[in-house]
Amino acid sequence: GIAYTPSMILEKDEIVSQDDFKGLMDRYTVALSPTTKKVWKSFKTSFLGYKKVDKIQEVTLEVVKGYAKHLEDSGMKESTVKMTLSKLAALCKFAVEEGIIKESPFKRFNINKKYKTTSKTVYIHHRSIEVMKEMFLNDVIVQNGKLWSYKDDSFEKMIDRTSDLFARYFWLCGLLFQGLAPIDLCQLE
């Protein structure tokens, strides 16, 4: 029969259990953007739909492995499974930092080792680079034996960001200057 005061409401929040799963997630996502919160909300729905978990201590290694298997069986790609499990791992790490649990179950379950992004090495062969260089030179210069000169419109095309010549030039500069970021390439003189 007594009206609530702000101090009473704050005291009520203190009574909420520290290891409550939903409360822990709310505290973890409090500083995130609204869009990111929506992603976390869908994760929470997915995880709680798989296993009814009230406390963070109930998230064990077996639960993590079962959830990973559940995600795989639902037809998710490996990258999506990895991203979803990384959210659960971040929440467990937060619980360890808060002192709610002693050890994260992800300490014994390595996400990156289980879900590799790719198993093959991708590279550009040096002959392909030579071909690209020759194509670029054919578009830019006119060659007559050992003598050569620039084509009339080659500089305009190289400066125009919508041209394919600009894209090839930019790509070759990236290789020539050993992978500099585009903003650094733009500042070269």
Confidence (pLDDT) at 185: 61
- Give me the tens of pLDDT residue by residue for the chain, a chain 189 residues long: 566 666 665 655 444 456 677 788 888 888 788 888 888 888 888 888 887 777 878 888 888 888 888 888 888 888 888 888 888 888 888 888 888 888 888 887 777 666 655 555 556 677 777 888 888 888 888 888 888 888 888 888 888 888 888 887 777 777 766 666 666 666 665
Confidence (pLDDT) at 188: 63
Confidence (pLDDT) at 101: 85
Confidence (pLDDT) at 92: 86
Task: Please state, in angstroms and rounded to a whole number, the distance separating the CA atoms of residues 7 and 100.
Answer: 25
Task: Please state, in angstroms and rounded to a whole number, the distance separating the CA atoms of residues 23 and 33.
Answer: 18
Task: Please state, in angstroms and rounded to a whole number, the distance separating the CA atoms of residues 101 and 14.
Answer: 19
- Backbone torsions φ then ψ of 144, nearest 5 degrees: -130, 90
Task: Please state, in angstroms and rounded to a whole number, the distance separating the CA atoms of residues 76 and 78.
Answer: 7
Cβ burial, residue 111 (10 Å; 0-12/13-18/19+) = middle
CB atoms under 10 Å from CB of 42, counted, come to 12
- Backbone torsions φ then ψ of 150, nearest 5 degrees: -75, 145
Confidence (pLDDT) at 123: 63
Which DSSP category does 56 fall into? G
Cα Rg of the chain, angstroms: 28
Task: Please state, in angstroms and rounded to a whole number, the distance separating the CA atoms of residues 99 and 57.
Answer: 11
